[in-house]
Structure 1
Amino acid sequence: MSAQNTLAAKLRSLHVPGKPILFTNVYDGASARAIAALPQTKALASASYAIAVAAGLADEDLTLDINLAGVRAIAIVAKEHGLPLTADFQDGYGEQLEEGIQKLLDLGVVGINLEDYDKTAKKMIPISEATERVRRVLAVAKNHGVPDFVVNARSDTLLHEGQVSDAIERGKAYLAAGATTAFVWGSPSRGGITKSEVVELVNGLEGRLNVILNTGAGGLPVSELAKIGVARISMGPALQFVAMKAYADAAEKLLLSQ
C-alpha cells in the first residue's frame, strides 16, 4: 500500500456512524498550521467558501486554479504533520473534473467534497450523472494508486425544492457508487437541517451522513449529532468568521488607541 493510500485509508476509517469525525475546516497555510498543531486533530479539510473569501472572491467565483492554490498551501502543512487532507472540490468544475482530481492527488490530497448542483448552469445535476461523477473521481484515484480515496458526496437538493426523501435517494446512489459519506446541505437560508431531518437522513443512509455543525441558537451540539448517529461533521467557513472578527476587533482596538 502506498503512503498516500495509507492516509486515505486512515481518513476513511475516521468516518464512523455514532463516532463522527469533526472537521474544523481550514482555508490557507496559517489556519492549517494552527489546526494541525492541535493534538486532537486527526485530519485536515479545506472549505471552498473560506478559500474564496481569502482570495477576495465569492464562493461561486472560485476557479479551479485558485482553489488548487489554496489547497496547495494547506497540503504543505498536512504533509509536515502526516495528516490526511480532504479538499472541498465544489461542483467538480465541469469538464475539468478528472484534471482537477489528478492535480489534487499530485498534491497529496486523499479525499474530496463533491457537490451535485451545477453552479454554472444553476441547476441540480441529474442523479445518474452525479452518480457517474463519483465513479469517475474514484477511477482517477485508483489509477493514481489511491483506491481508498474518500468522496464526501454533497447534495443540495433541499435548497432546490427537494424533500428529505430526495436527499436520501441521491445519497444512497452516491454511496452505492463508492462515496464514503453523503453530505446533505441545509444552508442558513432554510435554517439548516432540523433534528427530525437528521434522524430521518441517518436512518435512510445507515449513518453514513455528513452535516454542518450549526453553532447558532437551536443548533445541535456534536454530542447530540453523535448520539443520533452521523459519521462526519463539518464546520465549513464558521471558524474563518470567528477568526476575522477577532482580527478586526484587535485592529480596531489598536487604531482607536492612537
Structure 2
Amino acid sequence: MSTQNDLAKALRALHVPGNPLILTNVWDAITAKTVAALPETKALATASFAVAAAAGLPDPELTLDANLRAAEAIAKVAKESNKPLTVDFQDGYGDQLEDGIRKLIKLGAVGINLEDFSRETDGLYPVETAQERIRKAMKVAAELGVPDFCINARTDALLTGLSIDDAIARGKAYLEAGATSVFIWGGAKRGGTTKEEVVKACKELDGKLNVSLVRIRPGGLTLVELKEIGVGRISVGPQLMLRTQKAVVAEVEGILKGEGV
C-alpha cells in the first residue's frame, strides 16, 4: 500500500502536458466505487456542485462540514483502490482553510481544488492573499507529511469581467506560490473559455492548465483537441452527475410506464 505522500507524488506525476490527467468527478461513495473500479481511472476527484446537490444544497451553501462528510466516504474508496484523491475545496472556507486542510489530509486526500473567489467578500481575493492561502495549505500539508500535496488553483477572473491575460497572470502567481496546476474557469453564463483562450493560457502556463471537458452541450473542445493543445489536466465537474440524472429519469419513466427490460 502506498504512503499518503507516495499518492501525492503519483498525482503530481499524472499532470503531463499533452498526455493529461483525466478526472471524472464523483460525489459520493457509490460513484467513487464505480469510477475507481475502471482500470483507466488514475485518480479520484470530487466536484463541489455535485457534492452539494447530493446533500440537498446549492453549491454556494456547501459548508466545510458537509464537504468533509462527503470526502470521508469517498476517501475510504480511494484508500481501498490505492488511488489518489483530490477534493474540490471551493474557496477554502475563509479562516477555516488550515483546519480544513488538516482534516482533509487526515481523511486521506492528497490534493484540492482551491478557488480565488471569496464567498465572504463576494469578490476575488487580492493576488497576494490568494498566494498566501496556497502557501498556508502547502505548509499544513508538509507538516502532516504530505509535502507533495497538489493544489489545482482555480481563478474566477474571467467571471468578474477581467481578461484572459489577467487570469493568466493570476495563474502564474499561483504556480509560483506552490500550486500544481491552474484552472481558469469560464463559467456557463460566459459560455466557457474559447479555444484561443485555452491555447494562450496553456502556452503561458507551460501546460500546467486544467480544462473542463464539455459533455452536456455541443461545441466544446474534444479530448483529442485538448491533448493537441497540450493541457496537463482535464476534469468534468458536475457534468457526470447531470448526465446521470437524465439516465435515471429515462429509467424511472420506463418503470412507471410498465416497459420491459
Relative to the length of structure 1, the TM-score reads 0.98
SS in 1 for 2:249: helix
1-side partners of 2:207 and 2:75: how far apart? 29
- CA deviations 1:129-188 (Å, max 9, x no partner) are 001100000000000000000000000000001100001110000000110001110111
Partner of 2:251: 250
Count of aligned positions: 257
Report what 1:230 is aligned to: 231
The code of the aligned residue for 2:16 comes to V
RMSD of aligned Cα (Å): 1.0
Q: 1:1-258 to 2 correspondence within 5 Å?
A: 3-215=3-215, 216-257=217-258
Q: Which amino acid aligns with 1:4?
A: Q
* SS class of match (1:189): coil
| C-alpha distance in 1 between matches for 2:121 and 2:11 | 32
Q: Distance in 2 between matches of 1:87 and 1:56?
A: 19
Q: Secondary structure at the match of 1:172?
A: helix
Mind listing any 5+ residue stretches in structure 1 that lack a counterpart?
A: none
Q: Distance in 1 between matches of 2:179 and 2:3?
A: 21
Q: Distance in 1 between matches of 2:214 and 2:45?
A: 17
1:248 Cα shift?
Answer: 1.8
State the alpha-carbon separation in 2 of the partners of residues 114 and 251 from structure 1.
37
Equivalent residue of 1:188, what SS? coil
What is the CA distance between 1:70 and its match in structure 2?
Answer: 0.7
In 1: Cα distance, 2:115 partner to 2:95 partner: 14
SS of 2:153's equivalent? strand
Query: Do 1:210 and 1:232's aligned partners in 2 also have CA atoms closer than 8 Å?
Result: yes
Report percent identity of matched pairs: 55
**Structure 2 length normalisation: TM-score?**
0.97
Listed as ranges, the gaps of 5+ residues in structure 2 are none
Contact 1:192-1:214 at 8 Å conserved across structures: no
- Cα distance in 1 for partners of 2:139, 2:157 equals 25
Q: Could you tell me how far apart the structure 2 residues matched to 1:118 and 1:178 are? A: 19
For 1:227 and 1:150, how far apart are their aligned partners in 2? 24
